[in-house]
Amino acid sequence: MRLNKYIAQSGECSRRQADKLVQGGSVTVNGSLELNPAYQVVENDDVKLDGRKIITGQLSRTILMNKPVGYITTMHDPLKRKTVMDLIDIKERLFPIGRLDKDTSGLLLLTNNGDLANLLTHPRNKIHRIYQLEIDKPFENWEKRKIAKNVYIGQKEWGRGEIIEQKKNKGRTTVLMKLYEGKKREIRRIAYRMKRTLFSLKRIEFGPIQLDSTLPGAYRDLYESEIKELSSL
């Protein structure tokens, strides 16, 4: 089995993240530094990540969290800020599938299934995400067309999204925007370029999984029906 897949199946991270860990010098095999994600792990190989032995074979588990504002999406934070891992208390070692920034709330999936994480986050699979934005005024039709085509968002990057609904409410506008890629802070950068004030941002859908009545800061295991939907992607 390839080293990156071995690490992903242990529940440490996705396969793409495993590539970065290996190439960054965090992994040893039988006491020697291994920088090749394609290294073939064989039976009785001693694989360690940052000095900690990797154990495979645990049962797959995926949870849905309603992430509150104020928590960063990472496993560990050297600055000791609050992370989403502070909100869960379970025995399995889970990691976030993708990320929501500190000021974004809503649907976040955490898993120990590296293949699932890779499926949901790899750009070639075009798994959609839907976000709810609260902004100062609605987008005009020409602006919606521009966002759907391409908006320059800085740092030699272009953002793109589909405006699927807009509703005015007490001087503000609630917008539903669908994305198929996950560039860093993409919606915030689109809103800035389109000269909109963004008051809040919440993810409400990730592929077939929708945010439900789970309270902010709480989490639950995926239902069997949701697992089947993910398996069919």
Q: Is 19 a catalytic residue?
A: no
* pLDDT, position 197: 97
Residue 191 shares a structural domain with residue 134: yes
193 against 10, higher pLDDT: 193
Length of the chain: 233
Q: 199 lies in which domain range?
A: 128-206
Residues of the chain above pLDDT 90, percent: 66
Residue 39 shares a structural domain with residue 77: no
Residue 178 shares a structural domain with residue 196: yes
Token digits for 77? Answer: 């934070």
Residue 115 shares a structural domain with residue 214: yes
Which residues, at least 6 apart from 141, have a Cβ–Cβ distance to it below 8 Å? none
Residue 47 shares a structural domain with residue 67: no
Give the CATH number of the domain where residue 12 resides: 3.10.290.10
Other beta carbons within 10 Å of 7: 28
Give the CATH number of the domain where residue 66 resides: 3.30.70.580
Per residue in 51-101, pLDDT (tens digit) is 888 877 667 889 999 999 999 999 888 899 999 999 999 888 889 999 999
* Max intra-chain CA distance, the chain: 64
Residue 172 shares a structural domain with residue 197: yes
* pLDDT, position 58: 67
Q: In whole angstroms, what is the distance from residue 19 CA to residue 34 CA?
A: 11
* pLDDT, position 57: 64
Kindly name the residue from 19, 50, 77, 101 that is annotated as catalytic: 101
* pLDDT, position 183: 87
- Whether the CB-CB separation of 128 and 205 falls below 8 Å is answered with yes
Q: In whole angstroms, what is the distance from residue 216 CA to residue 66 CA?
A: 5
> What is the number of structural domains in the chain?
3
